[in-house]
Amino acid sequence: MNRTSSTSLPLIVGSGRLARHWKHYLQLEGLPFYEWSRRDSERLADFVKTRTIGAVYLLISDASLEPFYREHRSLLPASVPWFHASGALVIEGMLDAHPMMTFAEELYDLECYRSLSITTAAPVAALESTLFADLQNVITTIAPEDKARYHALCVLGAAGTGALWTLLEKEWQALGITPTQWRPYQAQIFANLLSQGRRAITGPWVRGDQVTTTRNFEALESPSSRKLYETLKGVFDEYREH
């Protein structure tokens, strides 16, 4: 990226996991940008004086977003749009662009980044007139009042799934079952879900085998495992009726 060019470029603010992924994505696409972090020795006010900023992408924690924006928005012309990537927040004066993807420590390839969709409470045109015009990502608009629900579902899908498999790994290890044994099982479950949806679900819940279901529940030792089993069984029963 060219940090000294006078060309109007987007500014990526942040140095966390999402910021690293997003900058890597733009680099893979060959799209130039400026970058600045609160860890930098140069103040943002001084940084923007010597550069022409086309848009600001604030990739910092949710709690810091609005205070940072309120403090620094006057540094740039009012015509410069400010974006945030929070899946849950709606901030007056800012546009939102939440990438529907989970971001691990390892960076991804270009195909993965291109496949992710962007969810926003703003009109699609507001995003397509900025950096997103040069990207291939699908943009979906939802109602502002639906953002918290949308993000809660994202959390269940990513952190919730991760918590479930962390619990399973711990329990299997206690039984002497190693990752070498359970990972093919895990991989096939996700492959079946991707190809078949909920038709891929198998086991005693599907068969209506109450004897086995009760025996399973009673065999679980920790309260959290029992509560999770009971909750997920309830979710399954609810959706089976539709």
Looking up residue 69, the CATH number of its domain turns out to be: 3.40.50.720
d(CA 167, CA 226): 12
> Cβ distance 119 to 100 under 8 Å?
yes
Task: Give a yes or no: residue 3 inside a domain.
Answer: no
Residues 124 and 157 in one domain: no
Residues 37 and 122 in one domain: yes
Task: Give a yes or no: residue 88 inside a domain.
Answer: yes
d(CA 185, CA 188): 5
Task: Give a yes or no: residue 2 inside a domain.
Answer: no
Residues 133 and 104 in one domain: yes
How many domains does one find in the chain? 2
Kindly list the strands in the beta sheet with 139-141, ordered across the sheet, starting from the edge strand earlier in the chain: 98-100, 117-120, 139-141
Identify the domain boundary among 142, 159, 182.
142
Average pLDDT value over all residues in the chain: 94
Domain that holds residue 90: 9-142
Residues 192 and 208 in one domain: yes
pTM attached to this predicted model: 0.88
Task: Give a yes or no: residue 32 inside a domain.
Answer: yes
Task: Give a yes or no: residue 1 inside a domain.
Answer: no
Task: Give a yes or no: residue 4 inside a domain.
Answer: no
Kindly list the strands in the beta sheet with 82-84, ordered across the sheet, starting from the edge strand earlier in the chain: 34-36, 9-13, 53-58, 82-84, 95-96
Residues 135 and 194 in one domain: no
Residues 115 and 53 in one domain: yes
Q: What is the pLDDT of residues 72-96, one digit of tens each?
A: 999 999 999 999 999 999 999 999 9
| Interstrand relation of 117-120 and 98-100 (parallel, antiparallel or unpaired) | antiparallel
Coarse DSSP helix, strand, coil percentages of the chain, rounded to the nearest 5 percent: 55, 10, 35
Identify the domain boundary among 111, 142, 173.
142
Note the pLDDT of residue 242: 66
Identify the domain boundary among 77, 111, 142.
142
10 Å Cβ neighbour count for 22? 22
Which DSSP letter does residue 50 get?
T
Residues 78 and 41 in one domain: yes
**What number of CA atoms fall less than 13 Å from residue 174's CA on the CB side?**
8
Q: Find the helix packing angle between 179-196 and 161-174, rounded to 10°.
A: 150
Q: What is the pLDDT of residues 9-55, one digit of tens each?
A: 999 999 999 999 999 999 999 999 999 999 999 999 999 999 999 99
